[in-house]
Structure 1
Amino acid sequence: MGKIGDSLERAEAALFTRPLPKTAPAQMRFLVKSEKGSTRAAADRLGVSQRTVERYLTGQFKHPRKDLAARLTAEVRRAWQPRVRERAQKQAAATGGIVVETRARFGFTAAPGSTDDGRIRRITQHLPAAYAARLFDARQTGASEQQLRTIVAEGLQEIYFKDGGRRADDLLVEFKDIDYVELEY
């Protein structure tokens, strides 16, 4: 994933009410349970054999290789507390909105006589629920990082730069060279 997608993952992880399982066997048990008891589906998800998953479940294996440990943790995090995620997303998409904190280069296309030179800005801005809903829908349908970035850029353009339609009507904002981006909802 890219910076926007990773930031959405971190924002969701901050909402968890319980910690993730710490040991590899506990993580494997959770992953198999989330796949409705199918060790084959869990193995396919991790890119290992079904027998490897079974060995973790029986306790024969306890310490995975670094690459498998990273994939296992990522898959568990992706499946952890789906109802908590869903409830928070619904609230953000309906009423709460999303807060974007970023440091990036913003370039502009504007009326003649104004500057279009991009410059680094640090912005913290609350975006309304409509942008949160668009962002969640796009991510759920498998949108690319560029598409997610475009949604965030449109939100910042309308709310921060155009001040909700009170100024700079013809301004178009380019969101590039992202140093960091953090999302909260």
Structure 2
Amino acid sequence: MGVSRAGRPSALPAQAEATARPAPTVHPTGPTDSPHQSRQDQRSAKARGNGDLKRGLRRAERALLTRPAPKSPRAQMKFLCTRAKGSTQAVAEQLGVSRSTVERYLSGTSRRPRKRLQAALGEETESQWQPQFMAQARQRAATTRGLVISCRAYFGFGPEGTSDTGRMRDISAAVSPAHADRILAAQQGGTTDDDLRKLVADALADAYFRVGGGGRAGLHVEFKDVEWLEIRL
């Protein structure tokens, strides 16, 4: 409201009145968020972290590639069909889609896959790209070079080996070829995340926590809640 020369309030123009109003408060997380939703988000974040073991191994393999893998959905589909000796049914089963879906991408009728298919195309293409080169890299890691594993995760300990309490740690350790062989064989065999995590926990225990023997020789190490992980072949 304005004030006239006579001291009486006068109405502001509609535009000025709208400008004078304070801006509404914006809630970044949304006013309808509930504690139940927050717990769901936390569980989802934890699940994504724990799944980083397989993704970390795939990233390590991709870092060694000498040629970039196909990127477009059609090129990826063509590559997978070549690897499957022309069987569109085999590719459909790998990707979890119908045979007609594969054929639409091969012909160019479909070009923009949904997120699930896009992720499956990328993973299958990268896992089958330069197969001989990747087999040689895995063989070197399993026989002579081992792995380097860096991560931030929760590490807890059994009562028999140490008085240390469990906590989040940043760790980088060179894992022996024997452990690398078991980890890579499990990955190639399609093991579960839980079994793969146990193998990585045992490898890190030997390389980092059990070094020097003594009371730590029989130490049991718990490995979980992975925040980030990097593996180098």
Q: Normalised by the size of structure 2, how large is the TM-score?
A: 0.72
Of 159-168 and 143-152, the range deviating more from structure 2: 159-168
Task: Provide the C-alpha distance between the structure 2 equivalents of 1:156 and 1:137, rounded to a whole number of angstroms.
Answer: 17
Q: Which residue of 2 aligns with 1:5?
A: 54
Q: Which residue among 155, 161, 179 is the counterpart of 2:203?
A: 155
Q: For residues 66 and 157 of structure 1, what CA distance do their matches in structure 2 show?
A: 37
Deviation at 1:106, TM superposition (A): 1.1
| Displacement after TM superposition at 1:81 (Å) | 1.5
Aligned to 1:107, which of 145, 156, 167?
156
Is 1:24–1:62's contact at 8 Å kept on the other side of the alignment? Answer: yes
Aligned to 1:97: 146
Q: Report deviation, 1:44.
A: 2.4
Q: Which stretch of the first structure deviates more once superposed, 68-77 or 148-157?
A: 68-77
| Alignment pair present for 1:22 and 2:71 | yes
> 2:186, 2:102 → 1: CA distance?
33
What are the residue-to-residue correspondences of 1:24-173 with 2, within 5 Å? 24-111=73-160, 115-165=163-213, 168-173=216-221
- Structure 2 CA distance for aligned equivalents of residues 48 and 178 of structure 1: 31
- Structure number, greater radius of gyration: 2
Give aligned pairs, total: 184
The alpha-carbon distance between structure 1 residues 116 and 167, as it changes in their structure 2 partners (threshold 3 A), is closer
Answering whether residue 207 of structure 2 is matched by residue 182 of structure 1, we say no
Amino acid of the structure 1 residue aligned with 2:224:
K
Aligned residue type for 1:71: A
- Partner residue, 2:8: none
Q: Distance in 1 between matches of 2:221 and 2:180?
A: 19
Deviations 1:75-126 (A, max 9, x none): 21222121121110000001000001011111112349x5352111111000
Q: CA RMSD in A?
A: 2.1
1:166 Cα offset (Å): 5.4
Cα 1:44–1:155 change in 2 (3 A) is: closer
Structure showing greater relative contact order (alpha-carbon pairs closer than 8 Å, 6 or more residues apart): 1
Check whether the contact 1:109–1:116 (CA below 8 A) recurs between aligned residues.
no
Give the stretch that moved more between structures: 167-176 or 85-94: 167-176
The CA deviation string for residues 151-181 of structure 1, in whole angstroms up to 9 with x for no partner, is 1111221221121525623422111222122
In 2: Cα distance, 1:62 partner to 1:97 partner: 41
SS of match in other structure, 1:163 = coil
State TM-score, norm by structure 1.
0.89
Compared CA separation, residues 170 and 130, structure 1 to 2 (3 A): closer
Once structures 1 and 2 are overlaid, which stretch shifts more, 124-133 or 154-163? Answer: 154-163
| Structure 2: 5+ residue stretches without partners | 1-49
Identity of aligned pairs, percent?
45
Name the stretch that deviates more: 68-77 or 92-101. 68-77
